[in-house]
Amino acid sequence: MASPKRTEKLQIMLDDEELKFIDDWRFEHRMPTRAAAIRELIRRGLVAGDVEDPETEGKSTSDFRIEPE
């Protein structure tokens, strides 16, 4: 089955800790590219039913941190 055509480009800024988390996850799961890993992480987050809504009131995106499991 062919991949869906990607028509949108997103630009995001990550700090060193966030980038390290993504890169470590990418290599652990043998993802071919960083972009593929990010798409997969987004997909998993969107389909996960047990994820709590983030508390965003009064916070900027720089206030969020990745907590190890």
- DSSP secondary structure letters along 36-64: HHHHHHHHHHHH-SSPPPP--TT--GGG-
Residue 53: per-residue pLDDT: 75
Chain centroid to Cα 1, Å, comes to 24
Closest to 39 (Cα-Cα) out of 1, 2, 4: 4
Residue 27: per-residue pLDDT: 97
What are the tens digits of pLDDT across the range 8-64? 999 999 999 999 999 999 999 999 999 999 999 999 988 987 777 777 776 555 555
pTM above 0.75, yes or no: no
Q: Where are the domains of the chain?
A: 15-45
Residue 55: per-residue pLDDT: 74
